[in-house]
Amino acid sequence: MNVKQQRTLTLEEKIRSKRPFIIAGPCSAETEEQVISTALQLSRDSRVDVLRAGIWKPRTRPGTFEGVGAIGLPWLQRARELTGLPVAIEVANARQVEEALSHGIDIVWIGARSTANPFSVQEIADALKGVNIPVWIKNPINPDLELWTGAVERIQQSGIQSVGLIHRGFHSYGDNEYRNTPMWNLAIEMRRRYPELIFINDPSHICGNRYLLTEVAQTAVDLAYDGLMIESHPDPDHAWSDAAQQITPDGLTQLLDNIHWVKVSENGEIDGRLSQLREQIDRMDDQLLQLLSRRMEISDEIGTYKKEHKLSILQMKRWNEIMERLSDKSKILRLSDEFIHQYFNAIHMESIRRQNSVINKKV
């Protein structure tokens, strides 16, 4: 095992053992002075584990700041020497991977725009063959779990042992309080698919502003993410990219102080009370399943009746009555109208599908 592999293995162990794992640093490396002063200030908070900085920036429109490029890599090396913090950057093509490796960058991540492009991911994966550093994969900008999964598969197939996932929210058109909607359910599904991978939340790119950061970080902590990646800059308002969402290193310390950390015990349990509540939920889910199954059996019987009496499956009047009745009840039960509509629409669609198959069954 060479020295580089030894250092990387230790880093991998460190990432796995520390909860929460904090990655912080500027959106972009701008000048040597900015990188070093950010790193020194961040390292004063012992909760910070990794220094991040963008060297090549994927920008939507040309003519904006596209990163300092490879000249910034020695600045990161120097920041690591001074603080002991491992350094992480985004890579988007084979040349960037090579430059990162030749400058001893400790961790690379694949940005949201690259994850959305299988050609880019494959090129990065090929360039990483035979390399042993952690590779983190941001979710694609569009809410497509197959693209995210495909990227994980390509990177794993290249032999990378330490793959991590970064949830940075998904693009959705129109007004939204977030720059990228979190769509927590998608992230949870990805975690279900890959329970063994490191799972990091990136509140900065979800929020797009400083004001919502704590709230989003708290949700991530409550959902037991392994780590947080938060953009931090010594003078956020004058940052060359993503100025609105960056916070000073002191601001980061305050944010981390304000978070209510969930206790996770050695066997991954949060605490006894939570297990009890989860058991109750599991029992109720079982009951819901049994009720749903009974309900569908009755739908089948209705299907048989409709077939015998040559009635149409969809009876709009009846369905509107059902929804009205449920909507009134749900108010009393403090269930949101939107949720009840989605839930019963799904049940109704399944009923129709079942009745259809009863009616069309050849006997």
Binds 138, which of ligand PEP, Mn ion, none (CB < 5 to 8 A, cut-off by type)?
ligand PEP
Q: Which residue, 112 or 125, is less far from Mn ion as judged by CB?
A: 112
- Listed residue (222, 218, 211, 208) closest to 179, CA to CA: 208
Q: How far is the CB of 108 from ligand PEP (least distance, A)?
A: 12
Q: How far is the CB of 241 from Mn ion (least distance, A)?
A: 6
> What is the rounded distance in angstroms from the CA atom of residue 14 to the CA atom of residue 165?
16
Binds 112, which of ligand PEP, Mn ion, none (CB < 5 to 8 A, cut-off by type)?
ligand PEP
Q: Which residue has the tokens 């953009």?
A: 231
Question: Could you tell me if 162 and 135 are in contact, meaning their C-beta atoms sit under 8 angstroms apart?
Answer: yes
Q: Please, how many CA atoms are within 13 Å of residue 353, restricted to the half-sphere of its CB? A: 7
> Structure tokens of 150?
């495909």
Q: Which residue, 138 or 354, is less far from ligand PEP as judged by CB?
A: 138
Q: Which residue in the shown chain puts its C-beta closest to ligand PEP?
A: 111
Q: Which stretch binds Mn ion (CB under 5 A): 91-99, 152-160, 236-244, 352-360?
A: 236-244
Report if residue 242 touches Mn ion, rule: CB under 5 A.
yes
Question: Could you tell me if 194 and 17 are in contact, meaning their C-beta atoms sit under 8 angstroms apart?
Answer: no
- Listed residue (36, 55, 179) closest to 111, CA to CA: 55
> What is the rounded distance in angstroms from the CA atom of residue 191 to the CA atom of residue 235?
35
Report if residue 27 touches Mn ion, rule: CB under 5 A.
yes
Interface with ligand PEP (CB under 6 A)? 27, 54, 58, 90, 111-112, 138, 168, 205
Q: What type of residue is 289?
A: L
Region of 250 please: left (phi>0), alpha (psi -120 to 50) or beta. Answer: alpha
Report if residue 90 touches Mn ion, rule: CB under 5 A.
no
Q: Which residue, 122 or 330, is less far from ligand PEP as judged by CB?
A: 122
Q: How far is the CB of 362 from ligand PEP (least distance, A)?
A: 53
Binds 111, which of Mn ion, ligand PEP, none (CB < 5 to 8 A, cut-off by type)?
ligand PEP
Helix (H, G, I), strand (E, B) or coil at 12: helix
Q: Which residue, 11 or 239, is less far from Mn ion as judged by CB?
A: 239
Q: What type of residue is 272?
A: G
Q: How far is the CB of 338 from ligand PEP (least distance, A)?
A: 28
Q: Which residue, 20 or 111, is less far from ligand PEP as judged by CB?
A: 111
Distances (CA, A) of 137 to 44, 114, 213, 219, 269: 28, 9, 21, 20, 26
- Listed residue (255, 268, 265, 251) closest to 228, CA to CA: 255
Q: Which residue, 142 or 345, is less far from ligand PEP as judged by CB?
A: 142
Q: Which residues bind Mn ion (CB under 5 A)?
A: 27, 242
